[in-house]
Amino acid sequence: MSPASRLALQYVLLFAANGVSLPFAGLWLSAQGFTAAQIGGLLAAPMMARLVTGPVIAVWADGFSRRRTPIALLGAVACAAYVVAGMGQGLWIQGVAWFVAATAMAALIPLTDVLSLQAARRTGFAFAWPRGCGSAAFVIANVLMGAVLSGASVDGVIVGVAVASGLLALTAATLLPTDGEAERGRARDRFAGVGRLLKDRLFMTALLAIGAIQATHAFYYGFSAIAWKAQGLDERATGLLWAFSVIVEIGFMWWVEPWRRRRGIGALTILTVGGLAAVVRWTALAFAPPLAVLWPLQALHALTFAATYLAGVEIIERLAPPGQHTAAQTLNSVMAAGVLIGLATLAAGPLYGAFGTLGYLSMAALAGVGLIAAWSLRGRIS
């Protein structure tokens, strides 16, 4: 198998697990007897804790001579923790196990991105291709698990994520590329490197620009299905709208992103386009448009998510000093998929309760913050 194919398989397993967990975790936790408040806390805790766990895991991972080793170990930890959660009983046992599993799975994304970026730079394949395979797996896993749960026990959720994470650990240990490995040093020095990144105003401004635009999806993730049902759309229509958004995301990664690179269009330009699309998308959704308008708005997911994600990974890769790529990408993930979206998610509930779909306007405003930060980077990065 080529390096690109090996990494594509890794992304498939990683995002297949996410495709099962993200939509159905709440359903499984509810079946375990947890209250809505407890479920919210269990889902939010790993996300918010990434401010600490993310950098710590990044520094730990950089201590290995082979980047695939910590990926395999984290996959094994996630698998074991999911098994404990599935077999245990009670808030503390299942809650702690879920926290460990979710933390390990979240850490796998930036670690896999770093390895994939290195392999792409070394062998010449487009990073977006294996990452797009992950998005495709997310959709397929989502649909398949939904079909399974229509006629089987909700325990299929925990079984699915445990199996996927176990296979992920196995493929990481045996198939991922082994060359282009980490630059090791003392743990104290690696922590000092994280501190230098946090003090770098250019780097932190880039994190804010990327993270703010990505975090605008919080209201959509949490309340789009509820809002559309209130408009009279059934669950089938909601599922199709979500699936369509991910399909256009995949299309962007597989075809538009390679074209963008061939044309030499800069990552900062793409990030700005993603931010502008977010302003348009969330402003339009605030006014509860009809189904015919929802389809083109969902197509903007290719820009609000895929373009922003790919541009962000590229920008952070350029800004990271030698030996700090894992830490830099982890901080990017912590900001975009952890702290900022966690805070936006916490705010989304009260906003929807008070203003309904007009709460989307707060996400448009957050995208504006990201655009201002991105604008300040002009002339400093491309």
pLDDT single digits (tens) 294-306: 999 999 999 999 9
Tell which wins on pLDDT, 30 or 5.
5
Nearest residue to 7 via CA among 94, 67, 86, 56: 67
Query: Residues 333, 194: one domain?
Result: yes
Note whether 269 and 261 are within 8 A (CB). no
pLDDT reported for residue 277: 98
Return the SS3 of 381.
strand
Query: Residues 178, 193: one domain?
Result: no
d(CA 269, CA 292): 29
pLDDT reported for residue 184: 56
Share of the chain above pLDDT 70, in %: 97
Beta-strand ranges (E) seen in the chain are none
Query: Residues 158, 195: one domain?
Result: no
Query: Residues 163, 204: one domain?
Result: no
pLDDT reported for residue 168: 97
Query: Residues 52, 189: one domain?
Result: no
How many of the other CB atoms lie within 10 Å of CB of 124? 9
- Our measurement of the distance from residue 222's CA atom to the centroid of its chain's CA atoms, rounded to an integer in Å, reads 15
d(CA 366, CA 341): 11
Name 93's Cβ contacts closer than 8 Å, sequence gap at least 6.
84, 85
Query: Residues 158, 248: one domain?
Result: no
Check residue 356 and give left, alpha or beta (phi > 0: left; psi -120 to 50: alpha): left
| Count of domains for the chain | 2
Name 14's Cβ contacts closer than 8 Å, sequence gap at least 6.
105, 108, 109, 112, 134, 164, 168
Return the SS3 of 378.
strand
- Boundary residue ending a domain (124, 155, 182): 182
Going from the C-alpha of 217 to that of each of 233, 298, 320, 368, the distances in angstroms are 20, 12, 26, 13
Tell which wins on pLDDT, 286 or 349.
286
Query: Residues 317, 359: one domain?
Result: yes
d(CA 217, CA 210): 12
222-237 residue pLDDT tens? 889 889 989 998 877 8
* Full domain range(s) for residue 131: 1-182
Query: Residues 169, 270: one domain?
Result: no
CATH number of the domain residue 24 falls in? 1.20.1250.20
Angle between helices 217-230 and 340-355 (to 10 degrees): 30
Query: Residues 161, 204: one domain?
Result: no
How many of the other CB atoms lie within 10 Å of CB of 211? 28
- CB-count exposure of residue 201 (10 Å: 0-12, 13-18, 19+): exposed
Query: Residues 220, 148: one domain?
Result: no
Query: How many degrees, rounded to 5, is the angle at CA 55 between CA 9 and CA 47?
Result: 70
Nearest residue to 172 via CA among 64, 255, 250, 272: 64
136-195 residue pLDDT tens? 999 999 888 888 888 888 899 999 999 999 999 999 999 998 755 555 566 777 788 888
Query: Residues 208, 349: one domain?
Result: yes
d(CA 334, CA 327): 10
Going from the C-alpha of 51 to that of each of 47, 201, 275, 338, the distances in angstroms are 8, 18, 24, 7
- Boundary residue ending a domain (162, 182, 202): 182
d(CA 367, CA 21): 27
Query: Residues 156, 88: one domain?
Result: yes
Total-model pTM: 0.89
- Boundary residue ending a domain (116, 149, 182): 182
Tell which wins on pLDDT, 379 or 93.
93
Mean pLDDT of 354-364: 96
